[in-house]
């Protein structure tokens, strides 16, 4: 049976590096995802993620177990993100990937999902990233913690040191803005199916897919 | 109309049963709230489409036992002279023979044991200054002699210092205690020299790494320049070929 975070933390405090590295392995993806969605840049998010664990390791003695270990990590990561945003003195930029990683794409696709649907989902994901980046930091952070990390309102309030009602207000305002913006982008729900006359929007994807046997035919038929 | 906090709590299913029932009842009569909640739920569905990249991480915490640059970089310069001595001494350390006889410290290199604590043994016949068996030691004769002379000097200083303190303490300090003190200091000196040797080694390694890196960069530059030249030559050749082809076509037409 795998150890709990608390057990691993206790062992790490006793000087067991392996236990701490198990915690790293367990939490690196959530922390990276948090940083990526808050600051919007993959490389910087990686740095923030790494720095989060370094700081946690150095400050482990100061962790008294008053909060969950994950909440403690989230707090460190959010502080680092805030520092990053201040340092960069700009709104986070949702990074649009250069091309489409086909392997990643394929692994994401569910058996019932066609490539067009997958592409549409990707497009929608990028649109969400764009409009999220335009939200005020505190609204975006609240939505990220709620939506992607499943924290309760109370946990978010504790993490952000603000009243419960503030968390709900930020969520409501953020979601409302997103709703309007996404509607403006014409992207609530799935994107319309590409028609045969309208190929321009998909040229990039066609270029990527064309080299891949098996998929190229479907795409060229679009 | 419901208040916003309630709507958010309803959408995220964080209402107690009673409040939830109230909202449900309200929604039956209020189209505006129904629409609002449906809209927020659609946004939540859209948010689910935003997936972060999945990079390989592979980082983990390791314990670093090496001293950092900052820790010893500055004092290393201050102790430059000592470091030179230490490096030289280190090469000969395996064959150093220290003895203490009649209040005088003797130091030799050779194949014998280091017998720091033995103050009663008789003086041995003089040994070769350098161990003949050790090829490495042979190449470092000068360094070793320098080091030995210098260590000898320091030992004498120590010894005179201890003699002075011995006079101050008059009859209380026995000869044995003095000897122990000297031996302790010698051991301290050796320990010091070992740590300085490690520092020196780290410095050398860092220099080598820097040199290799510089060499690599310059090599890369040279390769880059070569490629640019090749590229230019290829282009010229292509132009020449095209001209030649044009000329042939033109002359063929004329015919």
Quick one: which H or E segment has residue B109? strand B104-109
Query: Residue A221: what pLDDT?
Result: 41
Please tell me the distance in Å from A53's CA to the nearest CA on chain B: 8
Residue B89 has pLDDT above 70, yes or no: no
- Of B165, B173, B178, residue with least CA distance to B104: B178
- Search chain A and give the residue with CA nearest B64: A17
Residue A35 has pLDDT above 70, yes or no: yes
Average pLDDT, integer, range B248-253: 91
Using CA atoms in the order B90, B95, B101, B106, what is the torsion angle rounded to 10 degrees? -50
- Of A57, A109, A89, A102, residue with least CA distance to A213: A102
Helices (H) and strands (E) in chain B, counts: 8, 2
Q: How many CB atoms lie within 10 A of CB B225?
A: 10
> For residues A63 and A70, what is the distance between their CA atoms, to the nearest angstrom?
11
Residues of A in contact with B7 (CB under 8 A): 172
The closest CB to that of B49, out of A45, A128, A169, belongs to A128
Query: Residue B45: what pLDDT?
Result: 92
Query: Residue B12: what pLDDT?
Result: 95
CB burial of residue A10 (10 Å; 0-12, 13-18, 19+): middle
What average pLDDT is seen over chain A?
78
Q: Is B116 on the interface with A (CB under 8 A)?
A: no
Q: What are phi and psi of A135, to 5 degrees?
A: -70, 155
Residue found by looking up tokens 């980082």 in the block: B59
Query: Residue A150: what pLDDT?
Result: 93
Locate B188 and state its tokens: 């301290």
Query: Residue A185: what pLDDT?
Result: 79
**Greatest mean pLDDT among B14-28, B70-84, B139-153:** B14-28
Quick one: which H or E segment has residue B106? strand B104-109
3-class DSSP assignment, residue A90: coil
Q: Which pLDDT band holds residue A210 (cuts at 50, 70, 90)?
A: very low
Query: Residue A198: what pLDDT?
Result: 38
Cβ atoms of B14 and A153 within 8 Å: the answer is yes
Q: Domains of chain A, with CATH numbers?
A: 5-88 (1.10.1740.10), 102-220 (1.10.10.10)
Q: Which pLDDT band holds residue A113 (cuts at 50, 70, 90)?
A: low
Average pLDDT, integer, range A157-164: 94
Q: Is B43 on the interface with A (CB under 8 A)?
A: yes
Q: Is B39 on the interface with A (CB under 8 A)?
A: yes
Which comes out higher in pLDDT, residue B91 or B204?
Answer: B204
Please tell me the distance in Å from B2's CA to the nearest CA on chain A: 13
Query: Residue B160: what pLDDT?
Result: 74
| Contact residues for B45 (Cβ-Cβ < 8 A; gap 6+) | A189
Quick one: which H or E segment has residue A170? helix A164-184
Residue B96 has pLDDT above 80, yes or no: no
**Could you tell me the sign of the dihedral formed by the alpha carbons of B87, B88, B94, B97, in that order?**
negative
What average pLDDT is seen over chain B?
74
Looking at A28-32, A53-57, B94-98, B151-155, which range is the least confident one?
B94-98
Per residue in A70-94, pLDDT tens?
A: 999 999 999 999 999 888 865 555 5
Residues of B in contact with A146 (CB under 8 A): 12
CA angle A115, A118, A124 (to 5 degrees): 145
Average pLDDT, integer, range A119-144: 89
- Of A132, A169, A103, A170, residue with least CA distance to A33: A132
Cβ atoms of B1 and B32 within 8 Å: the answer is yes
What ipTM goes with this model?
0.72
Residue B199 has pLDDT above 60, yes or no: yes
Average pLDDT, integer, range B131-159: 65
Residue A202 has pLDDT above 60, yes or no: no
> For residues B193 and B211, what is the distance between their CA atoms, to the nearest angstrom?
27
Residue B134 has pLDDT above 60, yes or no: no
Residue A219 has pLDDT above 50, yes or no: no
Work out the percent of chain A whose per-residue pLDDT is above 90.
50
CA angle A194, A197, A201 (to 5 degrees): 50
Residue A115 has pLDDT above 50, yes or no: yes
Locate B74 and state its tokens: 């500055």
Contact A24 B59 (CB under 8 A): yes
Which comes out higher in pLDDT, residue B213 or B89?
Answer: B213
Contact B47 A143 (CB under 8 A): yes
Quick one: which H or E segment has residue A82? helix A69-88
Cβ atoms of B12 and A146 within 8 Å: the answer is yes
Query: Residue A64: what pLDDT?
Result: 80
- Of B190, B207, B206, residue with least CA distance to B85: B190
Contact A147 B47 (CB under 8 A): yes
Residue B133 has pLDDT above 80, yes or no: no
> For residues B146 and B117, what is the distance between their CA atoms, to the nearest angstrom?
24
Looking at A59-73, A139-153, A166-180, B35-49, which range is the least confident one?
A59-73
Which comes out higher in pLDDT, residue A165 or B73?
Answer: A165
Q: How many CA atoms lie within 13 A of A163 on its CB side?
A: 4
Residue A43 has pLDDT above 80, yes or no: yes
3-class DSSP assignment, residue B107: strand
b/e per residue, A107-122, with b = 16+ CB within 10 A?
Answer: eeeeeeeebbebbbbb
Looking at B101-105, B169-173, B240-244, which range is the least confident one?
B169-173
Residue B91 has pLDDT above 80, yes or no: no
Per residue in B54-73, pLDDT tens?
A: 888 888 888 765 544 444 44
Locate A40 and state its tokens: 């919007």
Which comes out higher in pLDDT, residue A189 or A30?
Answer: A30
- Search chain A and give the residue with CA nearest B53: A42
Per residue in B211-221, pLDDT tens?
A: 999 999 999 99
């Amino acid at each position: 049976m795998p150890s709990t975070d608390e057990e691993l933390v206790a062992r790490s405090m006793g000087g067991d590096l392996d236990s701490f590295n198990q915690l790293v392995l367990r939490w690196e993806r959530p922390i990276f995802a948090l940083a990526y969605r808050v600051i919007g840049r993959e490389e910087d998010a990686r740095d923030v993620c790494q720095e989060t664990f370094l700081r946690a390791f150095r400050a482990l003695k100061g962790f008294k177990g008053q909060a969950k270990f994950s909440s403690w990590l989230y707090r460190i990561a959010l502080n680092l993100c805030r520092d990053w945003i201040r340092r960069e003195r700009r709104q986070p930029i949702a990074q649009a990937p250069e091309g489409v990683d086909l392997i990643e794409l394929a692994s994401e696709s569910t058996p019932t999902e066609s490539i067009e649907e997958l592409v549409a989902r990707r497009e929608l994901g990028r649109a969400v990233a764009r409009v999220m980046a335009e939200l005020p930091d505190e609204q975006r952070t609240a939505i990220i913690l709620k939506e992607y990390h499943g924290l309760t309102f109370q946990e978010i309030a504790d993490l952000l040191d603000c009243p419960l009602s503030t968390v709900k207000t930020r969520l409501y305002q953020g979601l409302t803005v997103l709703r309007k913006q996404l509607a403006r982008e014409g992207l609530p729900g799935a994107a319309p199916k590409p028609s045969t006359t309208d190929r321009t929007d998909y040229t990039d994807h066609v270029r990527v897919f064309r080299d891949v046997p098996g998929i190229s035919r479907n795409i060229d038929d679009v | 109309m419901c208040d916003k906090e309630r709507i958010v709590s309803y959408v995220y299913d964080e209402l107690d049963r009673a409040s939830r029932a109230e909202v449900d009842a309200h929604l039956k009569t209020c189209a505006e709230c129904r629409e609002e909640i449906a809209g927020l739920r659609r946004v939540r569905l859209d948010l689910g489409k935003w997936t972060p990249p999945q990079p390989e991480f592979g980082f983990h915490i390791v314990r670093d036992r090496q001293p950092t640059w900052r820790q010893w970089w500055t004092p290393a310069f201050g102790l430059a002279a000592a470091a030179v001595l230490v490096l030289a001494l280190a090469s000969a350390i395996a064959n150093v023979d220290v003895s203490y006889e009649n209040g005088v410290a003797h130091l030799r290199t050779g194949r014998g044991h280091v017998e720091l604590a033995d103050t009663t043994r008789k003086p041995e016949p003089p040994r070769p200054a350098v161990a003949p068996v050790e090829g490495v030691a042979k190449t470092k004769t000068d360094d070793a002699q320098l080091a030995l002379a210098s260590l000898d000097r320091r030992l004498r200083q120590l010894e005179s210092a201890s003699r002075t303190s011995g006079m101050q303490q008059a009859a209380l300090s026995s000869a044995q205690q003095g000897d122990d003190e000297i031996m302790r200091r010698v051991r301290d000196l050796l320990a010091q020299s070992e740590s300085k040797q490690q520092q020196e080694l780290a410095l050398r390694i860092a220099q080598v790494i820097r040199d290799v890196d510089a060499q690599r960069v310059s090599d890369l530059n040279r390769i880059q320049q070569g490629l640019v030249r090749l590229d230019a030559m290829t282009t010229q050749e292509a132009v020449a070929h095209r001209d030649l082809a044009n000329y042939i076509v033109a002359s063929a037409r004329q015919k």
